[in-house]
Each structure stands twice: as structure tokens, then as C-alpha cells.
Amino acid sequence: MSKKIILLPGDGIGQEVINSAQKVLEKISEFYGSQFNFEQFEIGGTSYDLTGSPLTDGTITACKSADAILLGAVGGPKWDNIPVNVRPEKGLLKIRKELNLFSNLRPIKGFDSLLHASPLKEKNIKGSDILIVRELTGGLYFGEPRERRENGTVAVDTLVYSREEIERIVDQGFKSAQIRNKHLTSVDKANVLESSRLWREIVEEKAKDYPDVTVDHMLVDAAAMKLVTNPASFDVIVTENLFGDILSDEASVLTGSIGMLPSASLSDTIGLYEPVHGSAPDIAGQGKANPLGMILSAAMMLRYSFEMEEEALAIENAVNLSLEQGYHTSDLDIINGEIVSTEELTRIVINNIRKN
């Protein structure tokens, strides 16, 4: 089986961690006989420096022809003073739009060796394994009109969702729950927002198509509180763009380091996979970057784009074993652990890969 993977390192530590993911995938290829063909293109500030654009037409064309995409990170203070329309983040927003990446998946899992580093009590975070399914292309971030009026004294943003947009992300939530613990929590603000009332109606309609999944509804403020008081009570959370953005960032601190967290952005035909962390320009090039979020994003790619569940588990088990052995980068705090470099931790993970 041959798969074409586009690598978009981006900026800062993205250049380093994308290399870690490639090395891990090459090891998986050796073990399981799969063939991965890699092509690298630029995005974000690095692309702007080379071409004057954070995302070129050539990169878009290459991504559309790929089987999956791995992205490092974009942005940094170096580009704070360039025109807004060509800032690094515009490249990320544009690639999502061009590929119609409407579904963002963020798994939040508490690793036993890191539970003490969580801001929550260990008894609260232990056993937590959450998947947040966020709608990515609609809602307040994209609704029109958005403008300033009355000589700039009034600002207007519009929250718009169509039935089709809600149905496809809700279906993704249900399907994700079916392959996990069959519990879906739909988060909205139906007590005050008309868009949320439509959302809740559609969830109830769709529930009939997934009788094996237990569904409950939760207002976003209640969900935010429960994430920090009883995160283990969640399985899959499905929600709209703004709520998903906020809740997934809140949940990201539960594990003890944002450097551990992967994510996937999916369309009906392709997936883009990236760690949740940013470009961290303050540590770029120093060998301090945590590669595990990127490596776990590669595991998500194997699972969701290529249906290689065994290979995905092999990577995840290797990451967990490496942490249990005490190896970590400086962003993590492991009792009796050993701080190693980005390259060293990558090598340790590779050495811990076992065929299941």
C-alpha cells in the first residue's frame, strides 16, 4: 500500500517535530510493509519569506493530490508587523478552506506518568480519555456580515449555521462515539441562541440513526465546569466552532503539557494532522521541542485517513512506554525522569515500537 504524504513543517519548532514524525513513520513502514512517499512544501511565515505568500497555489495543488497532510506549526513574532492578509496564520486558515476541512478532532488523554503534572488532582484526571469533535468552517468565525459601523464605535459579527453544516459534524461525532465508548455529549447554548436550538434539534434527529450511542446535551458553561471537575465522565464531545475552540484549549492543559496533544482536521476525502502546540520560536533550533504531539498526530493520520489501526496503536504504545521509562523533553515533569533532546526522544520512541 503506497500513500502520498505532504509535509508542511511551517515555522519555529514545526521544522523539528515534522522530522520526528517522518522518522517514526519510516520505522512503521519497515515493520508493517506499508509505503509512504513524502513531499515537503512550505506554509506560514517560512513560505512568506520565500514567496511573499503564506500559502502558494502550488502547495494547495500538492495538498489536494495527497492522501494526507502533516503540518508542524505556523506563526511567530518575526511576522507580527507584516500586512494582516499575508500573516502566517492566514496560510493555515486558507488550507482549511481550500480542502474543506470541516471537522476538527482533538483527543485529550491522561498519561499515567504525567498525572502529577496536571493542574487537577490526580484522582480527577485519572482515566480521562476524551475526544472533542469541533465544527471548523462555520459559526461566528465565518458568518457575514462582520464589520464595524457608526464610525467604528459598533462591531458586528454574525453566527450562522446551515442544517447541512450541523448534520455533517454531528454525524462525525456519532461515528466517533461508535468506535469508542458509545457516549456522545452535544454542547450548545440552546437556552439563548437560535443556532444552538437548531443544533440540538438536529442532534435529536440524528440520534435515531445511531441507536447504540447514548446522547446527552449540555450547555457550554456547564461543560466547561465539568471538564475541570469530572473530565473522566466524558467520552466524545461534539460542538460548534467557537465553543469547540475554547473547550479544547481548556482541556489541553489537563494532561500536564500542551506539547503532548495531537489533532486532526478532516474533510470527506482528506485529513490534515498537526500538534495542538504553537511554533514556540523561543526554543526553535535548540533541541528542546516536544515531538510527541506531532508523533501522535501521525498516529491519528494512520487511524483516520489510512485505517491502519494496528500501526496507530504501535506508535501510541511506544510513546506511552517512553514516558513510563521516564524519558521526556524539558516541558514535561516526570518524577525520576530524564530530560532528553527532541532527537533523542524521537529515537527512544522509535526503539520502543513493537509489532502488536
What are the residue numbers of the active site? 141, 189, 221, 245, 249
Distance CA 54, CA 323 (A): 35
Provide the strand spans (E) within 254-305: 262-266, 271-275
DSSP per-residue codes, 150-201: TTTTEEEEE----HHHHHHHHHHHHHHHHTTTSEEEEEE-TTT-HHHHHHHH
The residue behind cell 513493537 is 354
Distance CA 292, CA 114 (A): 13
Q: What is the Cα Rg of the chain in Å?
A: 20
Distance CA 46, CA 256 (A): 30
- Of the candidates 351, 334, 331, which has an alpha carbon nearest to the alpha carbon of residue 342? 331
Contact indicator for 19, 342 with CB cutoff of 8 Å: no
C-alpha cell at 265: 482536521
Distance CA 263, CA 105 (A): 6
